[in-house]
Chain A
Amino acid sequence: MKNLTLRILLPLIPLVIIAVVAEMLSRYGVVAPYILPPPSDIFATFSTDAAEYYSATKDTISAALLGLVLAGISGVIIAILFSSSRLIERSLYPYATFFQTVPIVSIAPLLVIWFGFGFRTVVISSFIVSIFPVIANTFAGLRATDPALLDLFRLYGSSRLNVLLKLRLPQAVPQILTGLKISTGLAMIGAVIGEFIAGGGLGGVIDASRTQQRLDKVFAAVLLASFSGLLLLFLLNLLSNSILKTWKGHHD
């Protein structure tokens, strides 16, 4: 218990120190408030603009979550296709890495042209950024099937579909979850960047506040975006741990 308290308290100490230093720097005029707003102002905007932040956070989280779910489903399906045929893998895998290497900022304007302003484009942006880790991890998991068990399935004349459904996919579950966890943070980034261009959500608040020189609001939105990401990751960890617990029984 004492350990847990320490683990929560210790990371808070640097935060408090930084906040106090930042507060003093701007209060005593060392740094102008339009460069670094005092933390007290940032916290004040949370209550004055509470309704705006609430709905923006809700939009961003919904977009990131939807992008993540779509990436999870399509990523697993694409990985299954890759693992089912060398030919498909060899000819298409290089293009899958496109999702990993494309700077989302550079194609976000295109997305707006194709899909318009608003929620849909934000979801697509989040989807594009977060799909690759799911593909890569699922594919690795599908490939890493126990050869002895493959022999066993062969021994009883199993169909390829049964090998996939009863062996390869269930065996890949831990790796699929790992991929999803990596993608969670990315989904959040993809959503916020999408919102810069397509509007709405926390990304929209950041962009609008920046042009109004309201750095206190920018900082508040950035903090909310980070906490939303942490929240998503926390929820995914909960889900992943409970799935893994049933997957491998109660002992480690």
Chain B
Amino acid sequence: MTIGPEKILFQNVHKDFQSTGKVLRDLNFTAESGDFIVLLGRSGAGKSTLLRLLAGLEHPTSGLLKINLNSSNDRGYVFQEPHLMPWRTLAENVGLPLELMGVAKKEILARAETALKQVQLPDAGHLKPSELSGGMKMRASLARALVAEPSLLLLDEPFAALDEQTRFKLSEDLRELWFKKRMTVVFVTHSVQEACFLGNRILILSERPSVIKHDVKINLPEVRKMDLRTDASFNNELKKIYDLLDSTQKAGSV
């Protein structure tokens, strides 16, 4: 493997579960600090498992997994659903990571407000989750992952349950957040559109037991806005990925 300031290192990583058998098989890849990586694959391809390995919520069955973190609380995680606590206000929800880390109450509230501002939810700190739309809840969930300013942000199909317009807007905002803050992002999705729009680099996973079939660089500008979606360059990248998926499937069916 390369020597350098890589953020993530997977070396011959396998992951088996007693209940479902082999999920990940011989995973090898590195990621540079500040990269935006998308894990693309079908449902059940082990994408979530890979993300949970990165979160430290699961451990490899064998192989080496190294993540360069500043502290054990240096990871943010966004789930498929917002998973906010209904009895807490938004500010209290967003501040939860800091609360668990033992940060002083006053500082928690101030930083929660800042995080809410970053996800375009200023002045919403006093609201309860039941008073928000689905998109706003997901924004709050994103703010909760960002509040401790992690250097590694992990997202597990966070926008899958939202309507298309909300999804597009949130993708655009997430990309802009990354551009400003330059944390390392690993984003799981089964949507090729989403993968191309968001990622600097796409890892295509095969069917289970999953291996990384392709490692593709996306040649699009750093700053990506809504109008990119109708641009020819975006279509070219889409086609590139669709072709690869096609070949992956054919190879898989042989």
Task: Pick from A151, A162, A249, A252 the residue with the most CB of B within 10 Å.
Answer: A249
Nearest residue in A to B56 (C-beta to C-beta)? A155
Known: A247-B87, A248-B86. A148 touches B81 (CB 8 A): yes
Evaluate contact between B72 and A250: CB separation under 8 angstroms: no
Evaluate contact between A249 and B79: CB separation under 8 angstroms: no
Smallest beta-carbon distance A147→chain B, Å: 9
Evaluate contact between A248 and B77: CB separation under 8 angstroms: no
For A246, list chain B residues within 8 Å (CB). Answer: 87
Stretch at the interface among A54-62, A163-171, A199-207, A234-242: A163-171
Evaluate contact between B99 and A148: CB separation under 8 angstroms: no
Is B100's beta carbon under 8 Å from chain A? yes
* A86 to B72 Cα, complex, angstroms: 29
Smallest beta-carbon distance A153→chain B, Å: 7
Is B214's beta carbon under 8 Å from chain A? no
For A249, list chain B residues within 8 Å (CB). Answer: 86, 127-131
Is B251's beta carbon under 8 Å from chain A? no
Is A173's beta carbon under 8 Å from chain B? yes
The digit string for B57-92, where 1 denotes a CB below 8 A from any CB of A, is 100000000000000110101010101011110000
> What total of chain A residues lie within 8 Å of the partner, measured CB to CB?
24
The digit string for B215-233, where 1 denotes a CB below 8 A from any CB of A, is 0000000000000000000
For B87, list chain A residues within 8 Å (CB). Answer: 170-171, 173, 246-248
For B130, list chain A residues within 8 Å (CB). Answer: 248-252
For A52, list chain B residues within 8 Å (CB). Answer: none
For B73, list chain A residues within 8 Å (CB). Answer: 155-157
Evaluate contact between B128 and A157: CB separation under 8 angstroms: no
Evaluate contact between B85 and A154: CB separation under 8 angstroms: no
Which applies to chain B's interface (DSSP): helix, strand, loop or mixed? loop
Is B97's beta carbon under 8 Å from chain A? yes
Smallest beta-carbon distance B58→chain A, Å: 10
* Interface of chain B residues 115 through 160 with chain A (CB within 8 A): 127-131, 148
Nearest residue in A to B156 (C-beta to C-beta)? A148
Smallest beta-carbon distance A174→chain B, Å: 9
Is A19's beta carbon under 8 Å from chain B? no
* A170 to B93 Cα, complex, angstroms: 13
Nearest residue in B to A162 (C-beta to C-beta)? B100
* Interface of chain A residues 139 through 185 with chain B (CB within 8 A): 146, 148-149, 151-158, 162, 166-167, 170-171, 173
Smallest beta-carbon distance A51→chain B, Å: 46
* A167 to B88 Cα, complex, angstroms: 11
Known: A248-B86, A249-B86. A156 touches B131 (CB 8 A): no
* A156 to B108 Cα, complex, angstroms: 15
Smallest beta-carbon distance B57→chain A, Å: 5
* A128 to B12 Cα, complex, angstroms: 60
B97's contact among A151, A156, A252, by CB below 8 Å, is which?
A156
Nearest residue in B to A173 (C-beta to C-beta)? B87
Nearest residue in A to B81 (C-beta to C-beta)? A148
Evaluate contact between B131 and A157: CB separation under 8 angstroms: no
**Chain B contacts to A: CB under 8 angstroms:** 55-57, 72-73, 75, 77, 79, 81, 83, 85-88, 96-97, 99-101, 127-131, 148
